[in-house]
Amino acid sequence: MDVISWTGRTACALQAAMRATNEDFATRLGVAVRTVAGWHQRPDTVPRAEIQEALDTVYERAPASVLRRFNLLARPAPSPAGAQALRVAIAIVTRGDDVLLVCRRGDDSISWQFPAGMVKPGGSAETVAVQETHAETGVHCTVREPLGERIHPVTGVIATYFACDYLVGEAANLDSLENAAVQWIPRSSLTRFIPSDRIFPPILEALA
């Protein structure tokens, strides 16, 4: 069994690897939501022993795909002169009045999100947004304009967003291990799938 030095940062890395919200992760660990939020604010925090045991249990029960993501996310943070911070490129692909969503699998939950992929150091976020959309959904798209970036409120990674136009391709779930479904949904129905408080405001403006 791997021995993990649990801190706020590594706990948040596990949360991000599981693609869990603060609420879901807190429930899984049996802690208060404010505890998880505190780890995002103070990554050097060392959890209490009983919480570290709960983190060990969640880690040990995680599937291989989560462990692979965790190993990437939990790597030591780069020095100021080092490689770029962890970045994810997110594509908001539209076709007429519809927007493309993927339904991510969790251990025992699902959540609707926009197609996204991790940007390697030195890589192009714009290229990743286009390539990962095709890899996940079979849809070819092109970037129309950047919508900005933020520190993601759930995962803590740098999220870079792009408005994209549909080119060609039938939407299909091409990554059944990670995703439960792929679907075009009406723009007007977006907040039925993703709560509005979790959507980057420029996305709502671009889709209005």
Alpha-carbon gap, residue 10 to 192, rounded angstroms: 32
The C-alpha atoms of residue 195 and residue 29 are separated, in whole angstroms, by 23
pLDDT for residue 52 is more than 60: yes
120-148 mean pLDDT? 92
Tell me how crowded residue 85 is: count the other CB atoms within 10 A of its CB.
Answer: 12
Q: What pLDDT, on a 0 to 100 scale, did the predictor assign at position 44?
A: 82
Which of these, 41, 43, 51, 119, lies nearest to 77 by C-alpha position? 43
The highest-level CATH class for domain 87-207 is: alpha beta
Instruction: State the first-to-last Cα distance of the chain, in angstroms, to the nearest integer.
Output: 49
Task: Look at the block and give the residue holding tokens 């996305």.
Answer: 203
Please, which residues have CB within 8 angstroms of residue 57's CB and are 6 or more apart in sequence? none
- Is residue 136 pLDDT above 70, yes or no? yes
Residue 41 — φ and ψ, nearest 5°?
-80, -30
Q: What's the pTM value of the predicted model, to 2 decimals?
A: 0.60
pLDDT value at residue 81: 39
Q: Taking Cα atoms as reference points, which of 83, 106, 46, 58 lies closest to residue 158?
A: 83
Amino acid 74: pLDDT: 79
In the chain, what are the domain boundaries?
8-73, 87-207
